[in-house]
Amino acid sequence: MFITKRVEFPTIGNTPVVYDEPSICPLCKHAIKPVQLSLIPFQDESEKSFFCLTYLCKSCYQTFLALYEKSNTKDASHNSTYKAELLYEGPQKFEPEAFDQSIETISPQFVKIYNQALSAEASGLDEIAGIGFRKALEFLIKDYLIHETPDDAEVIKKMELANCIANKVSNTKLQTVASRSAWLGNDQTHYVQRYADRDIDDMKNFIKATVYWISMELITEDALGIRRADRP
């Protein structure tokens, strides 16, 4: 929601600015109309103008900050009003992803790395989050294959991820989503991206599908271990 407010900056004085007020609490993630507790304007050494707002979320009753920079561009609908750009909103609370016990059991390192990447993404570290998701995928695939064929463990550990997926994964649906996850993950490590129309969200979706198919394989494996009881 856009708000217009007059802000008393140190050197330029009382100035009307328009800014987009937060509508989602960064802590509890609920849609909110935040309560403003304070507004502090300031300027840096180059005399760029900023203001920091403290808000109260009426959903979780925690406080958070929003930092804005006043631009030199005036709002098109109000010639005397300057636009302000949101620079920071937080702190961002990280909610770890929960996985089935079967995934936790065969690849605890995948769960750890995936949630660290998720935490990086939540903190705005989007340039390194993708690399973390790619690493998590490799641990998941290799741990799954080692679980399936423990005698090949040393070979699997040394194989390239692409070769593991192409030559060791027999489920074609799992092979499809895992390979696409790897393609997009590799893209996150390169200077020039081959899949410019795809992003981290696509990769996360493919990893979730990979987790799903591995979970189905493990559940089926568990079911095959049940022998039919004799009928009375």
- Residue from 43, 210, 40, 51 nearest 133 by CA: 210
> What was the pLDDT predicted at 231?
60
Q: What domains, with CATH codes, occur in the chain? A: 2-90 (no CATH), 101-224 (1.20.120)
Q: Do residues 156 and 142 lie in contact, with contact meaning Cβ atoms separated by under 8 Å?
A: yes
Q: b/e for 129-151, b at 16 or more Cβ within 10 A?
A: bbebbbbbbbbbbbbbbbbbeee
Nearest-5° angle of CA 128, CA 131, CA 135?
140
> What was the pLDDT predicted at 42?
94
214-231 tens-digit pLDDT:
999 999 998 988 887 766
> What was the pLDDT predicted at 79?
66
CA distance 85 to 176: 41
**Beta strand spans in the chain (E):** 2-9, 13-20, 35-43, 49-56, 63-75, 78-90
> What was the pLDDT predicted at 77?
66
Query: 221 — phi, psi (to 5°)?
Result: -60, -40
141-160 tens-digit pLDDT:
999 999 999 999 999 999 99
Residue pLDDT tens, the chain, 232 long: 888 989 999 888 888 999 999 999 999 889 999 999 999 999 998 889 999 999 999 999 999 999 999 988 776 666 678 899 999 998 888 889 999 999 999 999 999 999 999 999 888 888 899 999 999 999 999 999 999 999 999 999 999 999 999 999 999 999 999 999 999 999 998 888 899 899 999 999 999 999 999 999 999 998 988 887 766 5
The length of the chain is: 232
> What was the pLDDT predicted at 23?
93
CA distance 28 to 26: 6
> What was the pLDDT predicted at 75?
67
